[in-house]
Amino acid sequence: MRVTQLLAPTLREVPAEAEVISHRLMLRAGMIRKTTSGVYTYLPLAQRILQKIAAIVREEMNRAGGLEVGLPIMQPAELWQESGRWAVYGDEMFRLQDRHQRDFCLGPTHEEIITDLVRNEVHSYKQLPLLLYQIQNKYRDERRPRFGLMRCREFIMKDLYSFDRDEAGLEVSYQKMYNAYSQAFQRCGLQFRAVEADSGAIGGNASHEFMVLAGSGEALVVHCDQCGYAANVEKAEASPELLQEGLEPGALQRVHTPGVCTVVEVTTFLGISAQEVLKTLFYEAEFTTHRELIAVVIRGDRNINETKLLNRLGCLRLELASDTLIKKTTGASPGFVGPIGLKGIRILVDTEVPLMVQAVVGANQDDYHYRYADPGRDFPLDEVADLRMVEAVEPCPHCGNSLVQSHGIEVGHIFKLGTKYSSAMGARFLDEKGQEQLIVMGCYGIGVSRTMAAAIEQNYDANGIKWPVAIAPYHVIIVPVSFQDEQQRTVAEKLYNGLLKVGVEAILDDRLDRAGVKFKDADLIGYPYRITIGPKALKDGEVEVRCRITGEDFRLKIEEVVQWLADQVHSQLHGFV
């Protein structure tokens, strides 16, 4: 490829719409253009990168025994109604009707479609296990699309579904995918970590996220360097902290706290720490048949993990209750409400609450609190659960070593679904005894377009992108300082053809622009290697080679450079295969 033939409209200015590094650099490097909010057009360079990521993923899925299929993007509502998700998936689902007013959706995921296929085609244990996957566009109506390809309405995803005879078979399939994902992301040249995660709307009883580690990541993960435990903070197990060991319960004391309603105000007024306060928060939980007001009691210096709470309740949705509803129900304003004497409301308490014997809580009357509250004595502990967010430096729940917190970008997610969908949709098979059994399922997704963005978030500098070789749009760019110079042009053409012959993807910058313009574009786009052909080096029969990732410069003989680059590129391409 020659730059004069390439559609890569680079920009010198940072677009105002761009919020994160990957978004800014892909726009500036002429890789993507916005069509509408959350929807992007991929230009040739981005398309090559996406194809390379997809090829790596496809190879690893095939190596693990996956069979590629093509599933419809438009899905009938009836299948989602069978699984029970049509009413609960939420506003992120694109819904539409055909001319006959039949309901459809644009697939955000494909559990229903693939389960329907398998229940109609798989009938015997002899047909299992089965791994079916596809790579295609997905659609989710994000409330607020942002961060370029990180959170958009249309994106490219690989989704694989496993079908097994039993839980033991599912464990084998799950481990295959865990290993395949690890291999795929290693081959893409990414630093990542697999962490325990919440299953969310997909469902199931176990899942792992694959996180590309980057400071710009939206997700927070904690990990232990001692035992290897790692989890998304939404899923991370909290180890209860014992702070009041040895203290004796005191007599409950009602104190006047005029206008003092926040944890900070209470601690300042009473001269205590936030660890001695128990705050009571109220949520409205939406179930399939009703809405319910829920009270949650947690230590004053802790934050509630709403994902854990939602899973504990088993509700569809969860939102903080309004001040008006709290006042109407309890008779007190938020900040003065506590669990003592709270009637007619389901109360959940975090695991640290029963460990306290002298706590400050709201007194259910404006301008009053209780001191020396003793959980269990003064209010019931009927529902105790891990309901809080884990923070850095806390002890690991498995070995006690301090946890480390990092930011990450989710690029893959694997789930053990069990019989969630096969039970709802009647996907069964006959075992060796001729008896019907439910198929045991798993699902496994990789965000192909998101992986491209995540790779940039992890590999860039002030000048532009630094692509890992395996997913770079081209491996090498050849830059003659002056393409009009016959000697430079001749050497450039010779190296270009030589690299192509040895399987190195090369692009020749044959523009008549100044060398500085070419260098800036090469760095911005992020080609792993740049050959510079200039008059000074040519006098010695040499060219200059720069490695974009390390910044190292080399002067190589013209007759050596092709083989040297071939060795460099091929070692990085095939190092994980």
> How far apart are alpha carbons 361 and 307 in whole angstroms?
24
pLDDT band at 490 (very low <50, low <70, confident <90, very high): very high
Spatial CB neighbours of 514, under 8 Å, sequence gap ≥ 6: none
The predicted model gives 410-420 an average pLDDT of: 93
User: 238-275 pLDDT, tens per residue?
Assistant: 888 888 777 888 999 999 999 999 999 999 999 999 99
The predicted model gives 278-303 an average pLDDT of: 94
pLDDT at 349 over 50: yes
Two tokens, residue 196:
């325990």
CA neighbor of 321 nearest in space, from 283, 361, 291: 283
Q: pLDDT above 70 covers what percent of the chain? A: 98
Cβ atoms 46, 7 nearer than 8 A? no
As assigned by CATH, the class of the 44-203+409-457 domain is: alpha beta
pLDDT at 202 over 60: no
Spatial CB neighbours of 319, under 8 Å, sequence gap ≥ 6: 283, 284
Find the farthest-apart pair of alpha carbons in the chain and give their distance in angstroms, rounded: 96
Higher-confidence position of 19 and 62: 62
Specify the fold of 474-573: Rossmann fold (3.40.50)
- Among the four given CATH numbers 3.90.960.10, 3.30.70.60, 3.10.20.30, 3.40.1160.10, the one describing domain 253-385: 3.90.960.10
Looking at residue 536, its pLDDT comes to: 84
> How far apart are alpha carbons 57 and 183 in whole angstroms?
9
Beta strand 404-418 pairing with 230-232: unpaired
Strand arrangement, sheet containing 368-373: 253-256, 368-373, 359-362
Looking at residue 107, its pLDDT comes to: 93
DSSP, residue by residue, 61-128: HHHTT-EE----SEEEHHHHHHHT-TTTS-TTSEEEE-TT--EEEE-S--HHHHHHHHHHH--BGGG-
Q: What are phi and psi of 502, to 5 degrees?
A: -100, 15
Cβ atoms 129, 165 nearer than 8 A? yes
Among 195-209, 255-269, 452-466, the range scoring the smallest mean pLDDT is 195-209
Two tokens, residue 145:
């699309």
The predicted model gives 198-226 an average pLDDT of: 77
Among 172-176, 189-193, 217-221, the range scoring the smallest mean pLDDT is 217-221
> How far apart are alpha carbons 352 and 386 in whole angstroms?
8
Two tokens, residue 483:
């393409």
Looking at residue 577, its pLDDT comes to: 46
Q: What is the CA radius of gyration of the chain?
A: 29
DSSP state, residue 548? T
Looking at residue 196, its pLDDT comes to: 83
> How far apart are alpha carbons 577 and 364 in whole angstroms?
65
User: 511-547 pLDDT, tens per residue?
Assistant: 999 999 999 999 999 999 999 998 887 888 889 999 9
Q: What are phi and psi of 169, to 5 degrees?
A: -65, -40
Q: Mean pLDDT of all residues in the chain?
A: 92
DSSP, residue by residue, 166-199: SHHHHHHHHHHHHHHHHHHHHHTT--EEEEE---
pLDDT at 386 over 90: yes
> How far apart are alpha carbons 458 and 471 in whole angstroms?
13
Buried b (16+ CB within 10 A) or exposed e, 275-313: bbbbbbbbbbbbeeeeeebbbbbbbbbbebbbbbbbbbb
Looking at residue 200, its pLDDT comes to: 57
Among 215-224, 272-281, 491-500, the range scoring the smallest mean pLDDT is 215-224
Higher-confidence position of 240 and 203: 240
The predicted model gives 330-336 an average pLDDT of: 93
Spatial CB neighbours of 258, under 8 Å, sequence gap ≥ 6: 367
Strand runs (DSSP E) across 204-264, as ranges?
A: 206-213, 219-223, 230-232, 253-256
CA neighbor of 441 nearest in space, from 60, 74, 160, 178: 160
Higher-confidence position of 19 and 446: 446
SS3 at position 332 = coil
Helices (H) then strands (E): counts for the chain:
14, 31
Cβ atoms 438, 427 nearer than 8 A? yes
The predicted model gives 389-407 an average pLDDT of: 87
Two tokens, residue 2:
């020659």
Looking at residue 474, its pLDDT comes to: 97
Compute how many other C-beta atoms are within 10 angstroms of the C-beta atom of residue 229. 19
pLDDT at 434 over 50: yes
Q: CA torsion sign, 294 to 295 to 298 to 302? A: positive
Beta strand 253-256 pairing with 529-533: unpaired
> How far apart are alpha carbons 1 and 474 in whole angstroms?
9
> How far apart are alpha carbons 363 and 369 in whole angstroms?
5
Spatial CB neighbours of 475, under 8 Å, sequence gap ≥ 6: 469, 499, 504, 505, 506, 527, 528, 529, 565, 569
The predicted model gives 87-114 an average pLDDT of: 93
Cβ atoms 425, 203 nearer than 8 A? no
Looking at residue 77, its pLDDT comes to: 96
Question: Distance between alpha carbon 294 and the CA centroid of its chain, in Å?
Answer: 29
pLDDT at 205 over 90: no
SS3 at position 224 = coil
Spatial CB neighbours of 234, under 8 Å, sequence gap ≥ 6: 197, 198, 305, 307, 308
CA neighbor of 122 nearest in space, from 422, 444, 418, 414: 422
Q: Hunting for tokens 């523009």 — which residue is that?
A: 511
> How far apart are alpha carbons 284 and 433 in whole angstroms?
49
Q: What residue ranges do the domains of the chain occupy?
A: 44-203+409-457, 253-385, 474-573
The predicted model gives 473-477 an average pLDDT of: 97
- CA distances to 92, 281, 321, 337 from 284, rounded to whole Å, are 21, 10, 5, 16
